[in-house]
Amino acid sequence: MERSLSILQLIALFLLPYLFSHNLANTTTDLKTDESSLLAFKSHITNDSSHTTLGKNWTTKTSVCNWVGVTCGSRHHRVIALDISYMSLEGTIPPHIGNLSFLVSLNITGNHLHGDLPEEIAHLHRLRVVDFSNNSFAGELPRTWFANMTGGLEELYLNDNSFHGTIPQEIVHLSNLRILDMGYNKLSGQIPASTLSQCSQLQALWLSDNNFSGTLPKEIGNMTQLQEFYARNNSITGTIPQEIGHLSNLRILDMGKNKLSGQILASTLSQCSQLQALWLSYNNFSGTLPKEIGNLTQLQKFYAGYNSIAGTIPQEIGHLSNLRILSMRSNKLSGQIPASTLSQCSQLQELWLSDNSFSGTLSKEIGNITQLRIFHAKVNNITGSIPREIGKLHNLQLLYLWGNNLSGSIPPEIGKLFNLEKLMLSGNKLSGWLNTLLIITVISLFDLILNLLGN
């Protein structure tokens, strides 16, 4: 008896006031907090050039829920989303932002805000999406904000600012992060793959257009949820680590414009069985293209131009039945263009093979690459005549074969390619250009350079 009484007393003394204050909360007062937070925000805007945006709209004459860019929740009647993107606002974000305690989504992209990102943001434990991209934020990444983060932030966009320094260890507190975009900043140091892999939910990671250097750490292989990884235009050296093969969900890998070297490890990459797009152009890759490239069966786009890859295109490339774009321009590839093999890639639309050392003739199987829209093979050493089967490529829009050793007459079939917009055949030993020119001009080519007389 005594025991149950004391439990009742406990409920009376502690639980009821607690329930009262939380369930029957004075929403007017709480919405007032949201209002004063947003008014504080407004007072930190130093230039609201259009004046039609916050200046005239965010006033106490109407409920904060009617303000432009503000969304209130239907249940609690509190501010749950703030979207003031692309309003040309200048100024800073005050700490009062941390009082918008029901905020789920915060989007201020496309303004000119600067200064510190207040660590009070960490108090917003309902916050899921933060988009601070395309502003004028600078300095180091907000270490203390990350460190104090209690909520379950899922998407964080800090791209297109001027953040410098390294990615801080404290980022591991954002343990629910699915999307992290830090592209277009001035971040440096090695990519902290070991740290980032502790954000175990990460699916998309953008680090392109920064100043990252060093090698790509093997711990990248621990980011098992990763589907998209962009690290384009940095100064990353060394090889792509074997551990990348552990990323069985990887769909997009962009390592273009770095200083990577060695052979392209196709057998490693082929373990990423979902890989659809692979950018390796503008690096220092050398050696040959391994035949295991044919094991990347999901591959749709393969860019490996502007490297020093030598040898021939392996036959196994014909296994890539989903391949739509193949770019190997500006390498040291040689041998005949394997038209018959490439025609097995039944989806192939773009073939960029210019500025290599391809030789031999252009075989008539080129006409079997039926989806081809772009055939760019300028500046090679292709001999023989242009096969008339080229006329089977009804989708062809661009045909660049200038700077080769082609001879014979231009097949009149070219004149029947009604989608052709750009044709360059100069710098060969072709004849019969006048007839072709007449046919072609009738179908109004936009961009035509035949200038064969100069041969």
Binding-site ranges for ligand NAG (CB under 6 A): 26, 28-29, 33, 36, 47, 49, 56-57, 62, 66-68, 83, 85-86, 88, 95-96, 98-99, 107, 109-110, 119-120, 122, 129, 131, 134, 144, 147-148, 155, 157, 160, 186, 188, 211, 213, 218-219, 221-222, 243, 291-292, 294-295, 316, 357, 359, 364-365, 367-368, 381, 383, 389, 405
Among residues 160 and 445, whose Cβ is nearest to ligand NAG? 160
Tokens, residue 10: 């406990």
Q: Report the nearest approach of ligand NAG to the CB of residue 179 (Å).
A: 8
Among residues 120 and 413, whose Cβ is nearest to ligand NAG? 120
Q: Report the nearest approach of ligand NAG to the CB of residue 187 (Å).
A: 9
Among residues 98 and 445, whose Cβ is nearest to ligand NAG? 98
Q: Report the nearest approach of ligand NAG to the CB of residue 448 (Å).
A: 26
Tell me how far apart the alpha carbons of residues 195 and 218 are, in angstroms, rounded to a whole number.
12
Q: ∠ CA 413-416-418 to the nearest 5 degrees? A: 145
Phi and psi torsions of 23, nearest 5°: -85, -35
Q: Report the nearest approach of ligand NAG to the CB of residue 406 (Å).
A: 12
Q: Report the nearest approach of ligand NAG to the CB of residue 37 (Å).
A: 6
For residue 19, the surrounding DSSP H or E stretch is: helix 16-23
Q: ∠ CA 312-313-319 to the nearest 5 degrees? A: 150
Among residues 243 and 413, whose Cβ is nearest to ligand NAG? 243
Answer for the pair 168, 193: CB distance below 8 angstroms, yes or no. Answer: no
Among residues 316 and 421, whose Cβ is nearest to ligand NAG? 316
- Among 268, 187, 302, CA closest to 235: 187
Residue type present at position 271 = Q
Q: Report the nearest approach of ligand NAG to the CB of residue 362 (Å).
A: 12
Among residues 148 and 349, whose Cβ is nearest to ligand NAG? 148
Residue type present at position 367 = G
CA distances from 63 to 67, 78, 142, 257, 324 (A): 7, 11, 33, 51, 53
Tokens, residue 2: 């005594």
Q: Report the nearest approach of ligand NAG to the CB of residue 253 (Å).
A: 17
Tell me how far apart the alpha carbons of residues 390 and 366 are, in angstroms, rounded to a whole number.
7
Phi and psi torsions of 162, nearest 5°: -125, 35
Tokens, residue 384: 């023989």
Tokens, residue 106: 């915060």
Among residues 235 and 419, whose Cβ is nearest to ligand NAG? 235
Write down the number of H helices and E strands in the chain.
9, 32
Residue 15 DSSP class:
I
Tell me how far apart the alpha carbons of residues 106 and 156 are, in angstroms, rounded to a whole number.
10
Handedness of CA 147, 148, 153, 156 (dihedral sign): negative
Among residues 99 and 307, whose Cβ is nearest to ligand NAG? 99
Q: Report the nearest approach of ligand NAG to the CB of residue 65 (Å).
A: 10
Among residues 109 and 409, whose Cβ is nearest to ligand NAG? 109
Answer for the pair 164, 137: CB distance below 8 angstroms, yes or no. Answer: no
Tell me how far apart the alpha carbons of residues 328 and 189 are, in angstroms, rounded to a whole number.
30
Q: Report the nearest approach of ligand NAG to the CB of residue 442 (Å).
A: 26
Q: Report the nearest approach of ligand NAG to the CB of residue 221 (Å).
A: 5
Among residues 153 and 410, whose Cβ is nearest to ligand NAG? 153
